[in-house]
Amino acid sequence: MAKWYLDTSVLVASAVRQHVHNAPAREVVETLIRGESQGYLSTHSLTEVYSVMTRAPFRPRIYPGAALRLIEDQILRHMTLVSLDENEYIDIVRRAANEGWIGGRIHDAVHLQCALKMKCDRVYTFNIRDFRAIAPTDFADKISAP
């Protein structure tokens, strides 16, 4: 069975009907729901999805209780959470410093490390260029948009 990692941008798009990328993101999630592929997300992404859903200017607004229901029904029931250990986080921070990264690039590195840890066949994101820029060369071709 294929193993797919979904980053926050795909998870939010799949859960929010009025999101511009809802249709392709939803199609990926539907594949997971049907059990045709196995899905993964990072523990960091779980909190990030909640944060984005409850603060983004979606109309209608997504309130905390609704965000929780969407996360439980559409994400947690069909995907496996991936955690990194302290050494994996330290390695990511060291790499960020050694390569001169600033800002949110480090969060993309956390997503990629989770996907690598689970030996995922595909990483779905709407931030393809950012992810490929820091991915190992032999993994970059596994990163795509839904």
The pTM score is 0.93
Per residue in 3-15, pLDDT (tens digit) is: 999 999 999 999 9
Note the pLDDT of residue 34: 94
- Separation between Cα atoms, residue 93 and residue 18, nearest integer Å: 35
- Please compute the mean of the pLDDT values over residues 109-119 and round it to a whole number: 97
Note the pLDDT of residue 79: 96
Q: Which fold has domain 2-144?
A: Rossmann fold (3.40.50)
pLDDT classification of 51: cutoffs 50, 70, 90 = very high
Helix (H, G, I), strand (E, B), or coil: what is residue 60? coil
Number of neighbours of residue 26 by Cβ within 10 angstroms:
20
